[in-house]
Amino acid sequence: ALMEHFEPKMEAIARETIHANVSNLSGVPSWMLVLIKHILEKTGKQSLEEIWPNLEVFFHGGVAFTPYREQYKDVIRSSKMHYVETYNASEGYFGTQNDPADPAMLLMIDYGIFYEFIPLEDVGKENPRTFCLEEVELNKNYAMVISTSAGLWRYMIGDTVKFTSKNPYKFVITGRTKHFINAFGEELIVDNAERGLARACAETGAQVVDYSAAPVFMDKHAKCRHQWLIEFAQMPDSLEKFAKVLDDTLKEVNSDYEAKRQNNLALQPLEIIVARPNLFHDWLDSKGKLGGQHKVPRLSNTREYIEEMLKLNE
């Protein structure tokens, strides 16, 4: 835990655990996958249960698991393996998936945390509407605000959530308050992106390692669009089909996006740029943010991040 740099830390973890009786994993899906692949390479094995036969569960959180699900099937092939999502942070422990058949998490209401919720459209306003837990509506995006017995007072955690049940209170994480694209009124959030990518992968046989998207405000032809930079573990059988399925799914799950894409007037079809291997790893490394809780910004309303990534991609 005290080691500063990710690569030597990863090597130390591998060395310490390869011969141990590991039954469960806990961590961020993206970085855990890097560790697992390193361990498989180090041992020459094809799947993780060859090394740890008693492995049965991965408690994951920090980033959405959906883009990584197929890659985990490749490295952990046991039918006995389970995946449980958790929502924990430095500021508190907020939720745990209590039903493997339901992706929603049970809200932890007895952990010394008082919750408030701001509708996503009110975030950033001087006097936003704020609701207590009993006032929330189902299937509506809220920014979560917490006050805790540790001393945080009305602290905006930075995540957006949507409730799927009120008895008991169950929710899914839908994105980040800072990670969205609304350059043209399309209000695209991470949950939309994850659903679109999942379907595009399913229909083209692709596997996504990492991605980031941002708006192109106006090119030399006065056209606006979304630009997606995607690193694939497995390329789609057709990049054009992948882009179309992604675009069509975004229209389906987001009426604002669909309206802006109508007849290609406000928004042109999205553009996909294939990232070279390890691009996002190298970008995080350039920022001194390898490992731990560091995450690639999935959606950005400016081109600051994607321009840096594109330069590294050349």
Which pLDDT tens digit goes with each residue over 51-81? 999 999 999 998 888 878 888 999 999 988 9
- The larger pLDDT score, comparing residue 87 to residue 222, is at 87
Q: How far is CA 167 from the centre of its chain?
A: 27
In whole angstroms, what is the distance from residue 243 CA to residue 236 CA?
10
Which pLDDT tens digit goes with each residue over 170-205? 999 988 888 889 888 888 999 899 999 999 999 999
Beta strands in the chain (DSSP E): 24-27, 57-60, 82-89, 92-96, 105-107, 113-119, 131-132, 141-148, 155-166, 169-176, 180-181, 188-189, 207-216, 225-234, 271-274
Distances (CA, A) of 44 to 22, 25, 29, 90, 207: 18, 20, 22, 36, 23
Mind listing the domains of the chain with CATH numbers?
Answer: 6-86 (no CATH), 106-176 (no CATH), 180-313 (3.30.300)
User: Among candidates 149, 162, 237, which has minimal Cα distance to 194?
Assistant: 162
Q: What is the mean pLDDT of residues 259-282?
A: 92
Q: Within 10 Å of residue 253's Cβ, how many Cβ atoms?
A: 18
Q: Give the pLDDT band of residue 246 (cuts 50, 70, 90).
A: very high
- Quick check: 220 pLDDT over 70? no
Q: Give the pLDDT band of residue 221 (cuts 50, 70, 90).
A: low
In whole angstroms, what is the distance from residue 233 CA to residue 208 CA?
6
Rg (CA), the chain: 20
pLDDT at 185: 82
Average per-residue pLDDT in the chain? 92
pLDDT at 222: 59
User: Among candidates 123, 134, 103, 237, which has minimal Cα distance to 182?
Assistant: 123
